[in-house]
Amino acid sequence: MSPIPMDYEPPEPEAWGRTQVTITGRGGRGEEIPLTASGGSAWPSVFMLPGATGLDAPPVALFSDDSPGLDGSIFRSSRASAREIMLPVYLYGIDRPTINELKRRLFYSLNPKSGPCVLKFTEGDNSTRLLTAYYKGGMEGSEGTDSAGFTWTKYGLTFVAMDPWFYGEREETKRWTFGEGEPLVSPAKPFFPMAIADGVMGGPGSEIFINNPGDVDAWPVWKLKGPIKSFSLGYTPEVGPQAVIKANAPADGSDLVPTGRTLTIDTRPGRKTVMDDRGTNYWSRLATNPQFWSIEPGYSTGQFTVVTGSGKASVSLTFLPRYATYV
């Protein structure tokens, strides 16, 4: 293959407007590589070409049953499958050693043995979508005259996102704090007039309003900071019965979550833990058949009751919205 003419100019990057696209390998700990900006013909660079695929809705798997007495099939369920993405990129170096070093650095960053890559899409209004995916192929290379030259090469990088959803960069959080309880009988104060401290957050049928800005359900993480004697966290989806996570007060009258301790209920798939900040497992303290629920997209309501002890307690709800596309 003969050297290319010295006046060779790389193509212009794809016009993404104010949208910025970057990729960070090595489990998100590596070098962040911009893909929508070129350093100019005098500097080495990596940028995207037109033709990226797999950035909108993920593929869907359908599950059905066949009946010997009926035509067709009976739908049972569906789920989003792993997403495959292809990013056409152009690598340009100022000389032969530069392009060879650029190839090695790129593979070093994307090598799946070092962890997944994080694709980041940032719009002009600073809204961001993140997708975690593993490099699958595309850097095998071709020395055809339309695929590579003395100081440049083209790759069609392919990635597989085991979790096919894009995530927002900022968490959605709701937090409630309530009362500094006081003892009913105090030697420092007269018995009358009597003052009763608020000790119940919510009540039967009490509702909280939640907004999930994502495109699909999101799984919340609850943090309950003691003193809390009991709690009930319920949610009624648009279709289906109510789901409840509940824990009753201990029989001896003590606090379920003592003062100064924080109980975390992580409902995310693959995690699903109920543990306090000292590592105590609370699974056995939940009521029978706890149902970890997700938050549907849009506005919805939950129903919950928290009975507190004597002191300042709080409850927080946190989740990361999930999106079908990068915008």
Give the 3-state secondary structure of residue 202: coil
pLDDT digits (tens, 9 = 90+) for 65-112: 998 888 889 999 999 999 999 999 999 888 889 899 999 999 999 999
Per-residue pLDDT reduced to its tens digit, 158-215: 999 999 999 998 899 999 887 654 443 444 444 344 333 444 555 444 788 899 999 9
Q: If you ran DSSP here, which 8-state letter would residue 196 be given?
A: -
- Say if 288 falls within a structural domain: yes
Per-position DSSP letters for 131-186, written without gaps between them: EEEEEEE--S---STTTB-SSEEEEEEEEEESS--EEESS-EEEEEEE-----SS-
- pLDDT, residue 15, reads 62
Q: How many domains does the chain have?
A: 2
Lowest mean pLDDT among 272-281, 283-292, 303-312, 313-322: 303-312
153 and 217 in a single domain? The answer is no
**Nearest Cα to 200, choosing from 178, 225, 174, 222?**
178
Claim to verify: residue 154 and residue 201 sit in the same structural domain: no
Polymer length of the chain: 327
Cα 150 to Cα 93: distance, rounded to the nearest angstrom: 9
- Please report, for the domain that includes residue 92, its CATH number: 2.40.30.200
Nearest residue to 8 via CA among 147, 148, 141, 151: 151
Q: Copy the structure tokens of residue 267.
A: 């409902």
Q: Are residues 182 and 146 in the same domain?
A: no
Neighbours of 30 (CB within 10 A): 19
Boundaries of domain holding 32: 20-168
- The proportion of the chain whose per-residue pLDDT surpasses 90, expressed as a percent, equals 55
